[in-house]
Amino acid sequence: MKKPVTSVTAVSQLDLFPIRNQVREYGREKLAADFRAGLNVALLAFPQGMAYALIAGLPIYYGIFGSAIAAIVGPIFSRGHFIVLGPTNATSVLLMSSFAGIAVVQDKLVLVPLIVILAGIFLILGAYLRVASFIQFISRTVIIGYITAAAMLITLNQVKNALGFSFHSHEKADSFFESLFFTARHLHETHFPSLLLSLLTFALYYGLNTKLPKLPNVAITLVVMSCVAAVFEPLGATGLRFLQEVNASEWKFTPPPLDFAMASSLLSGALAIALLSVLEGTSIGKSLAARSGSRLDTNQEMFSMGVSNIACGLFSGMPASGSLTRSVLNIDSGARTPMASVYSGLLVAAGAVTIGFLVQYIPQASLAVLIICIGISLINFRNIRLVMKSTRSDAAVFVTAVITGLVLGLDSAIYVGAGLSIMLFLKQAAIPELVEYQFNEQGQLTAKNKETERATPEISIVHVEGDLFFGASDLFRDQIRRICDDPNLKIVVLRMKNVRLLDASSVMALDELINYMNEKDRSVVVSGVKKGVFRVIRDSGLIERIGRQNIFPESVSNPTLATANAIRRAQEILGDDAANVTIYVDPAKSGSKGE
């Protein structure tokens, strides 16, 4: 039986402790189901946490501790059990990009708590201001471009680890192309035992994913390759690099430095992490919620992410976002409540304390290969083809986002891509295209042939489509003025049935039109006005300029009534019952030309 969809009003207010509602009737059956799901997620989260820390250029324990903290704290402030929080590919590479140019690891460790806490503060403020709905204005094309650039950076940055060489301390790879240059320069230093281990890792991981995709293949691969590396060394394969052990003593309270200059330099990166966290988390949550017929409270989830990030910043963790792989695994494993995520976090924490010392036996080359595999999997070639073939605007936004991400950094890719997509949309929305229509001898509406001579109309009906906002006001005024240049024109009927928005710029353009028409002893009649548009006309004082008798509001029950009354009013002004009528419409947008 499908669950009913929760109403919007039921999830309109933030709840500071929503998990209490989930555990009121918490019994043994739910506990068993949640614990099984939590165990499965923990087996994936532990090695993923290590991988994401390596991507960000941080010690391994940051990813493990971050996975545990976010998984435990997040559900306490979430209304649903759909999203499992923790480090992700996208936020890890964005964190790496924010620290570009900082070569000393200790310098990064000072900044990590600050940027993560700032991201958390942005998320909490956004939740209280209810801005989650505005995130939809960042187009999917921008996100696809960002993810593509991130995948390329992830893959390239791990090549040196997979091949067993390092950059020199003075070689700071601040961009994709610098990293590519330094990687090519050091290729001759490839460590062949590391290369062989990398090839074996790829073969094993690919085989497991092909034959046994439901197993925790990342963890299995790392365990097996640790055993292989242990055999390599006695055979003379020296020089292999291993991860550092995870010491529970490193899990400590890490307050950020109170340095406002430092904080201001990290604001852009922190805001980008917050935006990306919301985009990732809400898209994952909505998809999983739809599977169960539920509704996701995006602002509550945003609040949950914010608190989780602050907790991660204070206790040696990385930025927390919604993880697609862990969230899907959690639901597919039978999770019933948010406690499943809590159990997974507790198990990851227990693993860090009890078996963290075993991490030192994992070869760095093997983990790097797994990260490369994950990075390549992020590139969705089908979506890229779709974007490139859809419209020129989408293609331009995608290419710009990718290039910006590779050259200037991933946070810039989000801002520049979003800005360009909005600019191109406004440009498209602000170009009215009007085509002339007129009634034939039978009284039917037909398109006027460009080759035929234009009949002289006494009344011109201008069909206005879309939103009359500031970007369209000048073009709207110019189009109308060209129509009004006809010396025989007596009356213009503005058919505004499909106008949803009227702003001050367009009100002023209408006022200029009325002045122009009055100077030539002509009239303006308005038809099909919606309530919101009528309110703007009334409150701005334009209603007195037009004349209340010349405004005909929309009739929902009879869509053609307002236009018919407007034409009668025009004929009444003319004192003529049989005026020639020409109608201007946008054929690409108008679906009811005969109204």
Rounded CA-CA distance 217/51 in Å is 14
The average pLDDT across 138-164 equals 88
Q: Following CA atoms 66, 69, 71, 75 in sequence, which dihedral angle do they give, to the nearest 10 degrees? A: -140
CATH topology of domain 435-585: Transcription Regulator spoIIAA (3.30.750)
* Domain assignments of the chain as residue spans, ordered by start: 46-137+197-380, 435-585
What tens digit of pLDDT does each residue of 497-537 get? 777 777 787 788 788 888 888 888 888 888 888 888 899 88
- What pLDDT was estimated at residue 57? 87
Contact 228, 200 (CB under 8 A): yes
**What CA–CA distances, in Å, run from 545 to 110, 502, 562?**
64, 16, 20
Of the candidate ranges 173-187, 279-293, 314-328, 457-471, the one whose mean pLDDT is the lowest: 457-471
Interior CA angle at 314 toward 368 and 345, to 5°? 60
Contact 410, 94 (CB under 8 A): yes
Contact 52, 73 (CB under 8 A): no
- Cα first-last separation, the chain: 46
Residue 103's pLDDT band (cuts 50, 70, 90): low
The average pLDDT across 243-261 equals 86
460 DSSP β-pair partners: 492, 582
Which one is predicted more confidently, 449 or 331?
331
- What pLDDT was estimated at residue 476? 66
- What pLDDT was estimated at residue 582? 55
The average pLDDT across 152-180 equals 87
What tens digit of pLDDT does each residue of 41-91 get? 999 999 999 999 998 889 999 999 999 999 999 999 998 888 999 999 889
What tens digit of pLDDT does each residue of 365-421 get? 999 999 899 888 888 899 899 989 988 888 999 999 999 989 888 778 888 888 888
Place of tokens 């990075």: 375
Does residue 183 surpass a pLDDT of 80? yes
How many Cα atoms occupy the beta-carbon half-sphere of 550 within 13 Å? 21
How many Cα atoms occupy the beta-carbon half-sphere of 533 within 13 Å? 27
> Quick one: angle between helices 140-163 and 192-211, nearest 10?
130
Does residue 6 surpass a pLDDT of 50? no
**What CA–CA distances, in Å, run from 219 to 42, 213, 350, 368, 441?**
10, 13, 16, 14, 79
Contact 396, 420 (CB under 8 A): yes
Residue 106's pLDDT band (cuts 50, 70, 90): low
**What CA–CA distances, in Å, run from 252 to 61, 106, 257, 313, 344?**
11, 16, 15, 11, 20
- What pLDDT was estimated at residue 468? 61
Rounded CA-CA distance 270/120 in Å is 8
